[in-house]
């Protein structure tokens, strides 16, 4: 029986169709998975279901009742519970008190007569939080705090439970326990809709999986069916038909939705004052070397003993599914994040802990995920910002327009109104204007049409021919493998496999859709 029915749901943000006629059911007694690459629309669909985002088309039905126009609290009372991708707990309350809040609210609006403290204790034990029940949540590891959020959601006695990346921060044993818990909850008649990047967890916990890509449902079926589906592999890995072979021709331009611009990293005034001198690095055979690098966000360990070497004048592709730690690796290499262990060497010099602005002045340039342009400035004004490195403005403009002729046509256009591909070109042009020795590219193809991606990778190939060392992080693998000299697969914050692009390509299906590089 379908407890949750999504009928032809659409969401549009201006000119961007975020969801397009998405239909799916969540049945009682089953764990249903919802997966897809970054930007596929998964969290947007969750927001539609819970009432945080009104749809532009379609209907949401909960337990036979149409709730499309209902407010979020009404939907919660109809039986929808949810956790969030970004942890939402009461940090100054204990784990028990967090769950008790949910139980008290349930008793308050439902007028049910039940012992909320006994009910809370039962949930604490069921989720496995007994040992930390009286600890304040902000003192708990993030993985454990996520279990608190799950328990609090269960306190509302939902019919359907929506979980957004619940395994983030969990170790292997905790992830296994969570999978067992979800299957146990489903066996009691609960419907579970799971969004998750850990494919081994998804494939082991879910009975049925739906796959979104660019806001459209491209596949649905059992875990085995999804792993064997060529459209799903293309969504996660990119299409082999559009990979860029060395020596191949440039692709033609294609129209695509405008991408959102991310803010540039902010460096404190105190750090600017302490890092005025440019770091001088001697020549070396390796452009970048990470040795036993560990990194964390607060108490969340993200990178575990990462070893990675980018020889000078080569293209290194770092591949892996969502949440593998790829972007964090780039942030460590560029100085945005200081490692908690290990060393970072650039062109032979130990630059571990060096600030991002000093790294940039020394020839390390990062093009971040989301492009990092100034959306309210024109193309020319964005390029002028690259003169901070001392390169004359005339030289910046000439280099940019030579590599990207389309930017010359758009030079007076506000950057935020450019297409997604043009924004990526602008981000790359601004980076290359600084004449970098090491170029770090994060998700170059995100949100772009295949022909645009092909065109951009032709540019990457020409940049590499100019003896610029490049480390590219990508989820869509086949496009980058055509220009890479070496590639590696990262899973769960570790480099699991390194080799020739052809060798790495053969292991990608298992890595992306199975969570392992072994058979």
Q: Identify which has the larger pLDDT, 112 or 216.
A: 216
Percent of the chain with pLDDT over 90: 34
Q: Identify which has the larger pLDDT, 360 or 187.
A: 187
Q: Identify which has the larger pLDDT, 38 or 449.
A: 38
Q: How confident is the model at residue 515 (pLDDT cuts 50, 70, 90)?
A: low
Give the mean pLDDT of 308-336: 88
CATH architecture of 285-363+438-519: 3-Layer(aba) Sandwich (3.40)
CA distance 391 to 379: 17
> pLDDT tens digit string along 247-296?
333 222 222 322 322 332 333 323 333 343 333 434 457 899 999 999 98
Q: Please give the pLDDT value at position 476.
A: 65
Give the mean pLDDT of 100-113: 89
Of the candidates 77, 78, 99, 82, the residue with the CA atom closest to the CA atom of residue 47: 82
Q: Please give the pLDDT value at position 239.
A: 56
Q: What token pair was written down for 34?
A: 């919802």
CATH topology for 2-237? Rossmann fold (3.40.50)
Q: pTM for the complete prediction? A: 0.63
> Strands across the sheet with 341-346, in order?
300-311, 286-297, 341-346, 349-350
Of the candidates 453, 443, 40, the residue with the CA atom closest to the CA atom of residue 235: 40
Q: Identify which has the larger pLDDT, 173 or 268.
A: 173
Q: What mean pLDDT, rounded, does the chain reach?
A: 82
> pLDDT tens digit string along 346-384?
988 899 999 988 888 888 988 887 777 888 999 999 898
Going 250 to 254 to 257 to 261, the CA torsion angle's sign is positive
307 pLDDT more than 50: yes
- Please give the full DSSP string across 120-189, using - where no structure is assigned: HHHHHHHHT-GGGTTSBGGGS-HHHHHHHHHHHHHTT--SEEEEESTTTT--HHHHHHHHHHHHHHHHTT
DSSP 8-state class, residue 378: B
> pLDDT tens digit string along 200-257?
888 889 999 999 988 999 999 999 899 888 888 877 766 554 343 333 332 222 223 2
> pLDDT tens digit string along 419-429?
778 888 888 88
Q: Please give the pLDDT value at position 152.
A: 93
């Amino acid at each position: 029986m379908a407890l949750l029915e999504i009928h032809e749901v659409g969401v549009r943000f201006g000119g961007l169709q975020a969801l397009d006629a998405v239909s799916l059911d969540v049945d009682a007694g089953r764990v249903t998975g919802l997966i897809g690459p970054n930007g596929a629309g998964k969290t947007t669909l969750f927001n539609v279901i819970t009432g945080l985002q009104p749809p532009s088309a379609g209907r949401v039905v909960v337990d036979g009742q149409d709730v499309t126009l209902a407010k979020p609290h009404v939907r919660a009372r109809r039986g929808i519970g949810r956790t969030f991708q970004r942890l939402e707990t009461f940090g100054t309350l204990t784990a028990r008190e967090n769950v008790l809040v949910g139980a008290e609210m349930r008793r308050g609006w439902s007028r049910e007569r039940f012992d909320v403290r006994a009910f809370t204790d039962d949930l604490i034990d069921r989720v496995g939080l007994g040992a930390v029940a009286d600890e304040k949540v902000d003192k708990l590891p993030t993985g454990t705090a996520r279990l608190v959020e799950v328990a609090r959601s269960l306190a509302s006695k939902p019919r359907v439970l929506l979980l957004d990346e619940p395994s983030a921060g969990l170790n292997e044993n905790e992830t296994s326990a969570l999978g067992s818990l979800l299957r146990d909850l489903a066996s009691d008649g609960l419907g579970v809709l799971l969004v998750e990047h850990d494919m081994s967890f998804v494939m082991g916990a879910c009975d049925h999986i739906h796959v979104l890509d660019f806001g459209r449902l491209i596949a649905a079926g059992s875990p085995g069916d999804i792993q064997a589906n060529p459209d799903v592999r293309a969504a996660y890995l990119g299409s082999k038909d559009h990979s860029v072979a060395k020596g191949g021709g440039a692709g033609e331009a294609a129209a695509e939705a405008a991408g959102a611009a991310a803010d540039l990293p902010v460096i404190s005034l105190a750090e600017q004052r302490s890092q005025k001198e440019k770091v001088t690095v001697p020549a070396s055979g390796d452009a970048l070397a990470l040795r036993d690098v560990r990194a964390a966000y607060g108490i969340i360990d993200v990178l575990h003993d990462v070893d990675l070497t980018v020889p000078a004048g080569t293209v290194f592709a770092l591949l892996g599914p969502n949440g593998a730690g790829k972007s964090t690796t780039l942030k460590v290499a560029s100085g945005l994040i200081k490692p908690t262990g290990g060393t970072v060497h650039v062109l032979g010099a130990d630059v571990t802990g060096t600030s991002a602005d000093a790294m940039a002045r020394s020839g390390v340039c990062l093009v971040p995920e989301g492009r990092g342009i100034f959306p309210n400035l024109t193309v020319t004004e964005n390029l002028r910002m690259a003169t901070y490195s001392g390169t004359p403005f005339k030289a910046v403009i000439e280099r940019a327009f030579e590599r990207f002729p389309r930017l010359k046509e758009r030079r007076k256009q506000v950057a935020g109104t450019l297409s997604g591909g043009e924004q990526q070109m602008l981000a790359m042009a601004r980076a290359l204007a600084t004449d970098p020795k090491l170029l770090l590219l994060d998700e170059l193809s995100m949100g772009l049409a295949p022909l645009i991606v092909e065109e951009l990778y032709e540019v990457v190939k020409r940049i590499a021919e100019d003896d610029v060392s490049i480390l590219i992080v990508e989820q869509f693998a086949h496009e980058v493998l055509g220009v890479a000299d070496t590639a590696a697969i990262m899973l769960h914050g570790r480099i699991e496999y390194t080799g020739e692009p052809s060798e790495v390509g053969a292991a990608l299906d298992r890595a992306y859709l199975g969570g392992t590089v072994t058979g």
